[in-house]
Chain A
């Protein structure tokens, strides 16, 4: 079941949550909707679910498998929706929660009791909570509750699965476990899924494709690897990971920053002038001795060795701080000490212009 959203605009009073947004999710795909809070990603998800209605400007459309569902209410769209704060029915047991969607069906569509029992038991097994059917939501941990919420959504055999920050309220370890579990589940069920998150790591880890949103618009779409390595804008660059920003200039198709002149392929068409130059921490090399490559002298301030990368904070001329991530072996090899002066050279830089990008 593919999902398509066309020209959707949504305003709440004077606040614009979505501005003429269009996007498509292919059948069986897991798409991560990524963006900071207030970027409109949850609103978009709720519009797909039918929990919000887009502004009526005559152009907007929400299509499931090519069929317009804009006039259908949430309950008739056969959508499995998982809420950030679970929204489990507090007064019902886990079993009753999962069975709810089947029991509220009109009599002629309602499966018999034995069939409901079979399906709920199956789902309890799927979420690995077989022994917890008679518990109440308050007796479960956060991760368990979210799994119940997922099972409840799956019970109605939805055509699409929509997840609104499903792991947002969980702690890091549980979040990672559930995230991997969700990916495995998706590989098994192949259900068209949209996952909303503000955690770029999560979106990049589980999605087939990510859609990065900012200020009511889509900034960029693509596979996680493509978007990470080829960010289309300063925002995407900044949002998808740590980044160092150097103030600089463009002169004759080359970037000039803090005394370095760097060749940037494809920059020849740039009109020139002042700009910002972006470099990821792992794209900077640190050496003791100056080399022929363009480099910057810098002083080591702090070193955080905890992790697979050593995170080194340095100050450059003018006092601003930069961040360098060195693979741990490389860090041990050159054995940096705080206070040392070193030479930093970028392996890859990015410059973004108004209608120009690399």
Chain B
């Protein structure tokens, strides 16, 4: 019974040995699902049920209330300023870091990560110490009637600071991996700096860039800590959505608080969907370029 007869019997046994037992699979899946349900799905459900507890009319009323409407507008304005700024900063920083050699490069990389390392509250405080009435630049600013702290500029500044790393962090590894060859090829073919950027660099990084912008946008809308320190919580004036949610909640206005919160949660869901769509799109594009047959049928 040795030799030839043994292997066929051993193969299924070996396959079974490589697999985990059924009970272990069930336990692991149950733990994962339970955790996600308890900490992610349940809160989301609570946000929306609480928001709609008194019906759709109450929901609409609390969103259309002037202070709430102002908070939404301020959030959108802040995002509309912070995201494009960080798009440009992030692109410039990752371009500099990946395409050039210079002194202090590692310092720059560390500085880009700083907003991630520092607590948002501290970030906000830095701006208060800089621009506040008792701060370094405060007296000069107040003499010239410029208000930054407890006003919209402060909120924008704090948001820009906190969301600074998202685009750069997304682009640096991508651009490092792609190297400089294509840009150098473009330059040797006579393309100028802008042409190289628009025609070669940007198409290569567009999905990564968009992904970074989406993450940056989500954070810009949801930022609480840093904005809370610089805003002064002036109702109907310097409140963003997250700050307004806190105020409403502290006033026991639960339905309105959750209605506002549901807006943020909804934005979060949209972001997630956009992110998944992008990932799917990138995968699909990759597959398309790797399959000669699809292209042949097109041409």
List residues of A whose CB falls within 8 A of some B CB.
Answer: 49-51, 73-76, 78-81, 83, 85, 87-91, 100-101, 104-105, 134-136, 138-139, 149, 152-153, 155-156
Contacts and interface: CB of A to CB of B under 8 A. Distances in A.
B184 A100 contact: no
Contacts of B186: 89, 100, 104
Contacts of B291: 139
Contacts of A76: 190
A105 to B, nearest CB: 6
Contacts of A139: 289-292, 295
A75 B183 CA distance: 11
A75 B192 CA distance: 8
B181 interface: yes
Contact of B289 (A75, A136, A156): A136
A153 to B, nearest CB: 8
Contacts of A105: 190
Contacts of A138: 289-290
A153 B186 CA distance: 10
Contacts of B200: 89
Contact of A75 (B181, B188, B203, B290): B188
Nearest to B293: A139
A171 to B, nearest CB: 20
A156 B290 CA distance: 29
Which of B185, B192, B195 has most chain A Cβ within 10 Å?
B185
B203 to A, nearest CB: 4
Interface string B194-238: 010001100110000000000000000000000000000000000
Nearest to B190: A75
Contacts of A51: 184, 187-188
Contacts of B190: 75-76, 78, 101, 104-105, 156
Contacts of A75: 187-192
B295 A101 contact: no
Interface of B: 181-182, 184-192, 195, 199-200, 203-204, 289-292, 295-296, 298-299
Given A88-B182, A89-B199, A139-B291, 8 more contacts: A75-B188, A76-B190, A83-B181, A85-B181, A87-B184, A89-B186, A90-B204, A156-B189
A89 B198 CA distance: 13
B209 to A, nearest CB: 14
Contact of A134 (B189, B191, B199, B299): B299
A91 B188 contact: no
A50 B188 CA distance: 8
20 contacts: A49-B188, A51-B187, A74-B187, A75-B188, A75-B190, A78-B190, A80-B188, A81-B184, A83-B185, A87-B182, A100-B199, A101-B190, A104-B191, A104-B195, A135-B295, A135-B296, A135-B299, A138-B290, A139-B292, A149-B185
Contacts of A78: 190
A154 to B, nearest CB: 11
Nearest 10 A-B pairs (CB), nearest first? A87-B181, A101-B189, A134-B299, A104-B191, A87-B185, A81-B188, A138-B289, A139-B292, A75-B190, A91-B203
Given A89-B200, A91-B204, A135 B189 contact: no
B150 to A, nearest CB: 47
Nearest to A140: B292
Which of B189, B192, B204 has most chain A Cβ within 10 Å?
B189
B187 A89 contact: no
Nearest to B298: A134
Contact of A79 (B182, B188, B199, B295): B188
Contacts of B184: 51, 74, 81, 83, 87
Contacts of B189: 75, 100-101, 104, 152-153, 155-156
Nearest to A90: B204
Contacts of B298: 134
Contacts of A49: 188
